[in-house]
Structure 1
Amino acid sequence: MVSAAIGLAFLPLLLTLIIRYRYYFVLFYRAVLLRVWHDCRSGLSREERAYQYVLTHATPGDPESILNAFDAWCSKVEYISNIGPKKGMILDRLLMEQSPLTVLELGAHCGYSTVRIARALPLGARLYSVEMDQKNAAIAEKILRLAGFDDDTVELIVQPSDEVIPQLRSDYGIERLDFVFMDHWKKCYRPDLQMLEGSGLLGKGSMIVADNVLFPGAPKFLRHIRKSGLYEWKIHQAMLEYSRGIRDGMAELVYMGVN
């Protein structure tokens, strides 16, 4: 009887927590529990399942069709943390405004944002996309070829970002990065940005865009850009991709250099 009474006493608190954090529970169910169940049932990774869906629902050679198929799969079938269509439109606009010729992407995952960036680049531009996971990189490669992009437009580099950045000048002949998109491990945002600062590859006006800086969040990265004095910056408020009720944001940085 005492245990039952204690349980009833905590019931209102439990219901309050469930209601307050319901969107996070839904995200956990979609991103973790469903993924484990589908992994066991299909014997394929989530990224392989996404590729199969895109392959059967998109038009080869049409980047927009491929992005739409990805968005449909992530919204209606399984969750993948791509940048998504709404934040993607912010990225599209910034790319159109900047017209960058040399772009670095940190975190290709399975190729969604890579296709999104590549399709917005001006003629003659080149995108270097870094992905450390070999299996995901193999899928990204297939997605890029399905979208119609070749090695002259996109070079996929399968290595950890902290190994690639010091090699960009010597191994890839890059003298300046006009645009950097960060969507890899959030704990890597700050050290990778500091490595880019020290590399000499950021020039005045170079733009860095970082996704998911509010959720799951990159507090050390945000603290660095506030204190460094190297950037003009802003946060684009948004909702987490393919979700409801979870606030997120993208950081837009313009490198101003050392005074």
Structure 2
Amino acid sequence: AIRLARWVDGQRHAPGRSVSLEVDAVHALLARHHLSLAKLAPVADVWVGQALDLVPRLAEEFGAPGLGLAFMDHRGTKFHSDLALLERQNTVLPGFTHVCDNVLKPGAPLLLWLVVHRPTGLVATSWSMNEFAHWNSEDWMLVSGHDRRDGLGRTDVLARQQ
């Protein structure tokens, strides 16, 4: 939360706000405390709950579309359905960037299939790197750029299959 808040705070030409979604209330309180200590609370917030419940709030509070970046670091098996939810709620801006951690382990096979087989509007690459604090364990990060003009494409199809 602090790294994203610092980045948002430094973007004077494109003001925005960093919102982190956290399932664990204790983790959210700690993150909020650190944001306060870093004097970044005015540009960042941490909401408690699941994406399914909180994504509609993004559109309500910031307007739709209003989301330029999503960083997902929770359950890889849900990345594709959370991305579809963001699109269905009309929260993503044209040029929206989507970053996912832990794509190899525990894995995000449906999201990887999606980015390979989506017909248009998606440019993606994966980066191999060592897992945090585990120098001998490889994991992938996926970075993709989306063009909202192509419609929902296969993202919505995959979400319905769940």
TM-score range, shorter chain: 0.7 to 0.9
Q: Whose Rg is larger?
A: 1
Q: Match for 1:214: what amino acid?
A: L
Distance (Å, rounded) in 1 between the aligned partners of 2:3 and 2:45: 15
Matched residue, 1:119: 6
Q: Any conservation in 2 of the 1:231–1:255 contact (CA below 8 Å)?
A: yes
Runs of 4+ in 1 over 3 A off after TM superposition: none
Q: Which runs of 5+ in 1 are unaligned?
A: 1-113
Matched residue, 2:90: 200
Shift of 1:118: 1.1
Aligned to 1:245, the other structure's residue is in SS state: strand
Distance (Å, rounded) in 2 between the aligned partners of 1:168 and 1:120: 19
Quick check: which one's strand share is greater?
2
Is 1:217 aligned to 2:107, yes or no? yes
1:251 to 133, 142, 159: 142
Distance (Å, rounded) in 2 between the aligned partners of 1:190 and 1:256: 16
Shift of 1:125: 2.2
Distance (Å, rounded) in 1 between the aligned partners of 2:53 and 2:76: 17
Aligned to 2:23, the other structure's residue is in SS state: coil
Aligned to 2:135, the other structure's residue is in SS state: coil
Aligned to 1:184, the other structure's residue is in SS state: coil
Is 1:240 aligned to 2:141, yes or no? no
Q: Residue by residue, what CA displacement relative to the aligned partner does 1:160-218 show, whole Å, maximum 9, x if unpaired?
A: 11111123212x13322111111122222111011112122223211111111112211
Matched residue, 1:105: none
Q: Match for 2:147: what amino acid?
A: M
Is 1:174 aligned to 2:94, yes or no? no
Aligned to 2:32, the other structure's residue is in SS state: helix
Q: Match for 1:243: what amino acid?
A: H
Aligned residue pairs total 144
- Matched residues, percent identical? 26
Shift of 1:128: 1.1
Q: Match for 1:115: what amino acid?
A: I
Q: Match for 2:80: what amino acid?
A: R
Distance (Å, rounded) in 2 between the aligned partners of 1:155 and 1:244: 31
Q: Any conservation in 1 of the 2:67–2:92 contact (CA below 8 Å)?
A: yes
Distance (Å, rounded) in 1 between the aligned partners of 2:39 and 2:93: 31
Shift of 1:115: 0.7
Quick check: which one's helix share is greater?
1
Matched residue, 1:66: none
Q: Which runs of 5+ in 2 are unaligned?
A: 152-162
Q: Any conservation in 1 of the 2:32–2:45 contact (CA below 8 Å)?
A: no
Aligned to 1:118, the other structure's residue is in SS state: helix
Q: Any conservation in 1 of the 2:129–2:140 contact (CA below 8 Å)?
A: yes
Q: How does 1:10-159 map to 2 (within 5 A)?
A: 114-121=1-8, 122-123=11-12, 124-150=15-41, 152-159=42-49
Q: Residue by residue, what CA displacement relative to the aligned partner does 1:9-33 show, whole Å, maximum 9, x if unpaired?
A: xxxxxxxxxxxxxxxxxxxxxxxxx
TM-align CA RMSD = 1.6
Q: Any conservation in 1 of the 2:123–2:145 contact (CA below 8 Å)?
A: yes
